Amino acid sequence: MLKVNKVGGDIDAWCTKCKMTLGHTILAMVGTQAKRVRCNTCQGEHNYRGTSAPVKRVKAAAREKPVVTSWESLIAKKDVSRARRYSTKERYGQDELLNHPVFGIGFVQEVRGDKIQVAFKADVKTLVHGKF
């Protein structure tokens, strides 16, 4: 037999406070659809959302895991003895090793005009190059 919902009647619904499907009392209806309900357990009032838990949406950025590369693996196939001493007057290319007087051996990851992004063992730094 088909149950007809009406204001003041009982309906099973997902409770937003209890986080469970529980018995609720219908407070408001639009046509034949329940729109507002009160939980019979916690007495919390909320919009009717059906009987199942809401689906959590995962952000696109959260789904994509960044690729983590260790500093050791970046320089593993490179000849560290061929690293050039860092100078702001010198120009460096991508995937090149350099020897900085403070930060030590670094791997040039990216070249952007007069700036380079260099991965050192402790941190990634942006340095200037090609200044005359």
Domains in the chain: boundaries = 10-47, 71-128
Evaluate whether 36 touches 45 at the Cβ level (below 8 Å): yes
Residue 99 has pLDDT above 70, yes or no: yes
Q: Which residues contact 32 (CB under 8 A, 6 or more apart)?
A: 4, 5
Residue 49 pLDDT? 84
Bridge partners for 127 per DSSP: 116
pTM, to two decimals: 0.49
Q: How far, in Å, CA of 103 to CA of 112, rounded? A: 20
Q: Reduce the DSSP state of residue 70 to 3 states and report it.
A: coil
Residue 63 pLDDT? 65
**Residue 8: which H helix or E strand, with range?**
none
Amino acid letter for position 51: T
Residue 40 has pLDDT above 60, yes or no: yes
